[in-house]
Amino acid sequence: MALQLEIQGHAAWAYTGGKPFDARLPVVVFLHGAEHDHSVWALQSRYLAHHGRSVLAVDLPGHGRSAGPPLASIEALADWVVALLDAAGISSATVVGHSMGSLIALECAARHPQRVSRLALVGTAFPMRVADELLTATRDDEPSAQAMVNLWSHSALAQYPGNPGPGFWVAGVNRRLMQRQQPGVMHADFAACNAYTNGLAACRRITAPVLLVLGKRDVMTPPRATKDMVAALPNARVVEIEGAGHAIMAEKPDELLEALRGFIP
């Protein structure tokens, strides 16, 4: 089940967790990371949709089923999220973001504090600098860049229960999902993360409650890289998940869900 909207002149698509979208319920918006789509949130979004919330797990512009070019900056993506809220008739929502999506969520909450009631940053860091070699590879050699990111995103060669469930090879799922995105999307996403400089200023402006969910074995956005963010956020709670790398939704879906359940009223 999905919600299809027109945002900024392009068709936009959001998974609604297997239930029709209802803006009268508390709304949770899920923002995926670079070179991903809504499906990374399938378990968590489906759970919340069946537990009293209405969810929108979006495909960001140019990703998955959402049309248009990928947007070039975190700031532009943050404004796109507000345009999504407007189009869907949502006055305010809990916004959950992973990796690049966490920066979008953060910037969105800073720019539009009245629209973001709660903020969950999963696998986050600031600054989210991208190594020159990786950034170059995202532009010139996507398969190599995807291989690097896939290797760095996972903490082990086995995870239970996996995602979408037992019998799925989470690194294979992630690799193929990246390959399913359009050429050029990966570079746009990683360049946007790398160029984003407003993170600490944004943190200082956040008034909503904030949850950070971090993987203890994350080498892409290691927990230590959130130290300045946490210091700048007036109202943040941090949950570190044992045995999770960067791909927290895939590697530790239950632990992530528990953290979100304890945070989202």
CA 157 to CA 42: how far, in whole Å? 21
CB of 235 to other proteins, least distance (A): 29
Distance CA 207, CA 186 (A): 32
Chosen residue from 228, 240, 254, 255 binding other proteins by CB under 8 A: 254
Backbone angles phi, psi at 219, to 5 degrees: -100, -10
Spatial contact of 200 and 228, defined as CB atoms under 8 Å apart: yes
The continuous run of DSSP H or E covering 118 comes out as strand 116-122
Minimum distance from residue 80 beta carbon to other proteins (Å) = 20
Judged by CB under 8 A, the chain residues 78 through 97 that form the site for other proteins are none
Q: How many CA atoms lie within 13 A of 29 on its CB side?
A: 35
* Closest distance to other proteins from the beta carbon of 115 (Å): 26
Which residue in 91, 114, 179, 182 binds other proteins (CB under 8 A)? 179
Order of strands, sheet of 116-122, starting from the edge strand that comes earlier in the sequence? 2-7, 10-15, 54-59, 27-31, 93-98, 116-122, 210-215, 236-241
Q: In the bound complex, what is the minimum distance in angstroms from residue 188's beta carbon to other proteins? A: 19
Q: Are 246 and 219 within 8 A, CB to CB?
A: yes
Binding part of the chain for other proteins, among 78-86, 97-105, 151-159, 190-198 by CB under 8 A, reads 151-159
194 belongs to the binding site for other proteins (CB under 8 A): no
Does the protein bind other proteins through residue 164 (CB under 8 A)? yes
Cα–Cα distance measured from residue 47 to residue 68, given in angstroms and rounded to the nearest whole number: 29
Q: Is 25 in the site for other proteins (CB under 8 A)?
A: no
For other proteins, the binding residues in 50-69 under the rule CB under 8 A are 50, 64
Q: Contact positions toward other proteins, by CB under 8 A? A: 1-2, 15, 18, 37-39, 42-43, 46-47, 50, 64, 131, 133, 137, 144, 147-148, 150-152, 156-158, 160-169, 171-173, 176-177, 179-180, 253-254, 257
